Every structure is written in structure tokens, then in C-alpha cells.
Amino acid sequence: MKLRYLLIMGLSSLVIVGCAREVSNNQANESPIAVNASVPVPSTHAKSLAKSAQSPDSTAIKSGTFVSGEHTTQGKAGITTKDGKSFLEFDESFKTSELGPDLVVILHRSDDVINSTKPPSYSLKKGDYIILAPLEKYSGAQTYSIPQNINLADYKSIAIWCRKFNATFGAASLSQ
């Protein structure tokens, strides 16, 4: 009887470990957009930074450097305008953790998101931020369109935020 019980427990353990490994591998191979498919994505939310950086009529308004929160986040970000439209741009040195599901790019009212929240997750309060778009990729240059109805004077920082767990991965205070 004990041998049968041990055999059943052993087989069950193998099945659970195999399933967990398969789920982990599948999640690692998904793109951030596929993970964040529940978020409505405006058709103009991302474009190549190289294209906008080459444009002579693009004007920098504010910029800042990322500091880490829940996970290591680095690089520079800035808000630019071109043809009357505003864009949030991350430079080539941008990088954040791939560990979070449902990562989004937000504008935040605080000028110091990380120090105005509490570790370890650096949770945000509803009403203090606005979601721009799902994070396009975990590293490298990327650009996000900022809707024209947003008053940029109301927002002093940008952040990478895990909506599912209310965890701020990193933030950049924006200054002129």
C-alpha cells in the first residue's frame, strides 16, 4: 500500500514539474505586447526612435534618467514635440526587468515616484497617474504617442508600472 502511494506521489510530482517548466518556457518566449493583450493599444503608440530623432523639427521639452524601484531599470527618457504632437521617447540605454506581467508606461504627477511610494513594490494610488500604453519592449529605444488631451504640466515623471501587482519597476523624474 505504501509503495503504491509513493508511486502515485512521484508521478504526480513529475507531471507538476513538467507543466510548470512548460508554462515558464512559454511565458519567456512571449512578447510584451502579447502578455499585455488586455490593454487597448492605440495604433500610433510606438514608432522607431531613430526616425523621430533624425527629424530636425522635433523639440525636446523635458527629460530624465530612470531610477530603479521594484526591479532594476535604467536609461534615459524624454518628452518631445513634433508637428504639434507630443511623444515620450526612451533612448537606446533603456532597460528594465522581464519579470513582470502587464507592464505599462505611465505619466505620474509626482516629481519623485520612487521616494514618494513605499518599498518593496512602490505601489501607486489611483488618480496619480495616467497609462500611455503597454511597454513595447524590455530594452532599447522606443517612442510612445501622448494624447493631445493630456496636460503635460500636470505630470512630472514617467514610470514603468506592473498594473497586475501594482508594482513600479522604475521611474524617471522629468525636468526641463
One domain for residues 20 and 106: no
pLDDT in tens, 4-24: 655 566 555 554 544 444 434
Q: Is the pLDDT of residue 70 over 80?
A: yes
Q: What is the pLDDT of residue 8?
A: 67
Is residue 36 in some structural domain? no
18 and 84 in one domain? no
Q: Is residue 82 part of a domain?
A: yes
| Statement to judge: residues 8 and 59 lie in one domain | no
- Stretch (H or E) spanning 82: strand 76-82
78, 63 contact by CB (below 8 A): yes
Q: Which helix (H) or strand (E) holds 12?
A: helix 2-29
Comparing 16-25, 52-61, 152-161, the range with the smallest average pLDDT is: 16-25
The verdict on 59 and 20 lying in the same domain is no
Do residues 18 and 56 share a domain?
Answer: no
154 in a domain, yes or no? Answer: yes
Print the domain residue range for 159: 49-173
Query: Looking at the structure, do residues 6 and 64 belong to the same domain, yes or no?
Result: no
Does residue 40 belong to any structural domain of this protein? no
- From CA 110, how far away is CA 94, in angstroms rounded? 21
Q: What is the pTM of this model?
A: 0.67
Same domain flag for 77 and 125 = yes
The burial of 91, by beta-carbon neighbours within 10 Å (0-12 exposed, 13-18 middle, 19 or more buried), is given as middle
CATH of the domain at 153: 2.60.40
Instruction: Decide if 38 is inside a domain.
Output: no
Task: Report the pLDDT value the prediction gives residue 1, as an integer from 0 to 100.
Answer: 64
- pLDDT, one tens digit per residue, over 93-129 is 999 999 989 999 999 999 999 988 888 888 899 999 9
Is residue 168 one of the residues assigned to a domain? Answer: yes
Domain count, the chain: 2
The answer as to whether 63 is a domain residue is: yes
Omega within 30 of 0 (cis) for the link into 56: no
pLDDT of residue 59: 85
Query: Is 107 a domain residue?
Result: yes
